[in-house]
Chain A
Amino acid sequence: MTKSVLRGLRAAALTGTLVFGSHQALAAENPIKLGVLEDQSGDFAAATIGKVHAIQLAADEINKSGGIMGRPLELVPYDTQSDNTRYQEFMRRVLQRDKVDVVFAGFSSASREAYRPIVDQFNGFAFYNNQYEGGVCDGHMIVTGAVPEQQFSTLIPYMMEKYGKNVYTLAADYNFGQISAEWVRKIVKENGGKMAGEEFIPLGVSQFSQSVQNIQKAKPDFVVTLLVGTAQASYYEQAASANVNLPMASSVNVGQGYEHKRFKPPSLKDMYVTTNYIEEIDSPKSKEFYAKFKAKFPSEPYVNQEAENSYLAVYLYKQMVERAKSTKREDIRKVIAMGDVCMDAPEGKVCIDPKSQHMSHTIYLAKVDANHAISFPKVWEDIKPYWLGDAGCDLTKKDPMAQYTPSNPPPKP
């Protein structure tokens, strides 16, 4: 065990020096240290390597224009290998040994819940730059990804109006999939629809013949696919080859795993996704970001929503540190409490909500057609992450360091 840990650390340190060596030249005295714990290998790597690149891009831009308060930004990256225990090891390491000022960490919700107690324990400060199932009310965390009230409250009613009220959910069987499915159930019920069925798929499963048949048996009007990881993405090819031919709705596909680029058309035909960014978005800000990204990383297969979240998070951090004139979490949270930490991101204007420390987003409805081209039938501007605040989470007053769900809301005062 100890040996394998050491080997992992050594390997990560080695790749770290190789990839990020270029920053060392800049490092002057007293840099601001940013820990980067993201999956650069393993099952989630396809969706997350772009996050690391986005953070590098932002850090380079910031360092070129004088750093943060004149201090350079130094990245301390580790490859967490799509493995929850690596997150715990490396989170302890960046907080205790490397003594970073802030950590950007995590793709899967399982990994976030694995490292979050460690951030709380060592009084760290972490950004989770990922869309997820919502509900984390923790003063040590800032979440820049979209949450269900942003992705599902927009998507599900649209789909029900367009295709019908019978909904089938196919979700990954861990906290993200289970809680997201609960959100879908809730929103479907509120809109007068009914669940034709639900199935939860263990992570790593790649064979879907029986699930395809279960869906055909239930005869839904559309399928909500909350499949995570590259193994589960095999579903689309297998469903298409069995001619399921049902519209699909998702909060994770396309925007994270660019399945429309990886699979041969038309396997993702009629897939609808709500995302706060994908590279196809045709606005000047988005084009500019995409061009900068491609100039620095020409072989990047896709610039996804998590890459944009990670990129803007670095700039948000810069803004907050400069306004607080400090890297201390409590000083930064005082700035957040003013409620005007906003920026013009590639997706549009975003602001941090002081109550939940989550972020408002422009939500794009992306539709995949038979040739796997993307169109945007609808855009919702400035959708707020309202649920936690409405349910009773107020980080400006109290920090419960907990995750809540619709069936397990914050306790009433």
Chain B
Amino acid sequence: MDIATLAFSALYQFGDAFAFLVLSACGLAVIFGMMGVINLAHGEFIMCGAYVTAAAVHAGLPLPLGILAGTIVSALVGVLVELAVIRHLYDRPLDTIVATWGLSLIATQGTLIMVGSTMAGVGTPFGSFQVGDYSYSIYRIVLFCSALGVLAGLYALFNWTRFGVLARATIQVPHMAAALGVDTRLIYSLTFACGAGLAGLAGGLYAPTMTLVPTMGATFIMEAFVTVVIGGADVFLGTAPAGGVLAVVKSVMTSWQGQLFGQIGLLVAVIIVVRVLPKGISGFVLRERT
């Protein structure tokens, strides 16, 4: 086996792990990292996106439109949840844990009762390609590119648009933003919807590759939280490097010793990063800058 094959396979595995971490985490990076809402229902927003995507594809829509539908529906559900529950708990962060955990239980059990214990899959598009001895799924490359696209989009949204500036202002000093005429309630709603929509997007993108069951959100939640926790408060400067570091650790450990050690390595890396950089990677980067 030559060096190029090995290098490509390492790169592919890194990209695969990176995409999973980043796509799982970016919705949570907005809701938890930025807004400070500890959203334990994050996995259920992902499940919602996946279910809507699959339902849309079964109804005859092409996959990209299905994913779009999943994203939009999750964002709308996000708006409803924000209005009904989260809005009242911004100054009670610990209570959001209980509230969102309750929501997640309701969503999981409600889906089980209404849709049934499983949903038929939609099949992974695009087929495979061969490099050296190994064949790879093309769709995993699409996922990696989507992760990069989402990160770039988030960076642009929060740094270059008026909404991004207002959102950051509202979350940093809400009363000052309100005094300057910003409708902070609306901004909170939209930001939460943005996070929920990103979760739905992750669900939609992974829907073709996974088992569709009411509990599927749980398989994303650990990766999502550890990425956001070590990433810190900044959506772009946190999630991107955190995803990169964890993906290297996870893919190297998994290829060396298997899935169990991949998970152990991931968690050990998280413990070390949190110990060394209590404010996360973005806290470290931003401090160095100023």
Contacts and interface: CB of A to CB of B under 8 A. Distances in A.
Nearest to A79: B109
Contacts of A45: 112, 117, 213-215
Interface stretch (A182-190, A205-213, A285-293): A205-213
A205 B219 contact: yes
Contacts of A173: 259-260
B121 A237 contact: yes
A231 B128 CA distance: 22
A230 interface: yes
B136 interface: yes
A299 B116 contact: yes
Contact of A267 (B116, B123, B262): B123
B137 A210 contact: no
B209 A230 contact: no
Given A173-B260, A238-B209, A261 B13 contact: no
Contacts of B263: 202, 205
B128 A262 contact: no
B140 interface: yes
Interface in A166-213: 173, 199-202, 204-207, 209-211, 213
Which of A213, A261, A301 has the most B CB atoms < 10 Å from its CB?
A: A213
Contacts of A301: 116-118
Contacts of A320: none
B118 A243 contact: no
A207 B117 contact: no
A52 to B, nearest CB: 11
Given A45-B117, A242-B137, A301-B116, A230 B211 contact: yes
Interface stretch (B27-35, B232-240, B250-258, B273-281): B250-258
A204 B211 CA distance: 11
Interface in B88-142: 108-109, 112, 116-124, 126-128, 130, 133-140
A43 B133 CA distance: 35
A41 B215 CA distance: 9
A237 B124 contact: yes
Given A209-B13, A241-B127, A217 B260 contact: no
A262 B122 CA distance: 9
B117 A49 contact: yes
Contacts of A199: 258-259
A231 B134 CA distance: 24
A214 B137 CA distance: 15
Contact of A213 (B9, B123, B210, B262): B9
A23 B130 CA distance: 59
Contacts of A216: 133-135
A405 B214 CA distance: 35
A262 B135 contact: no
A231 B211 contact: yes
A46 B209 contact: no
Contacts of A264: 120-123
A230 B213 contact: yes
Contacts of A26: none
B203 interface: no
B120 A261 contact: yes
B209 A210 contact: no
A119 B135 CA distance: 50
Interface string A250-271: 0000000000011110010000
B49 interface: no
B218 A204 contact: yes
A233 B16 contact: no
Interface of A: 41-43, 45-46, 49, 173, 199-202, 204-207, 209-211, 213-214, 216-217, 230-231, 233-234, 237-238, 240-244, 261-264, 267, 299, 301
18 contacts: A45-B112, A45-B215, A173-B260, A200-B259, A201-B259, A201-B260, A206-B210, A206-B211, A209-B17, A210-B16, A213-B134, A214-B255, A217-B133, A230-B118, A234-B210, A237-B211, A264-B123, A299-B116
Interface of B: 9, 12-13, 16-17, 20, 108-109, 112, 116-124, 126-128, 130, 133-140, 208-216, 218-219, 251, 254-255, 258-260, 262-263
Given A210-B251, A241-B128, 12 more contacts: A45-B117, A45-B215, A207-B16, A209-B12, A210-B262, A234-B209, A238-B124, A240-B124, A262-B119, A264-B121, A267-B123, A301-B118
User: Nearest 8 pairs between A and B by C-beta?
Assistant: A264-B123, A243-B128, A241-B124, A241-B137, A46-B117, A206-B219, A230-B213, A242-B137
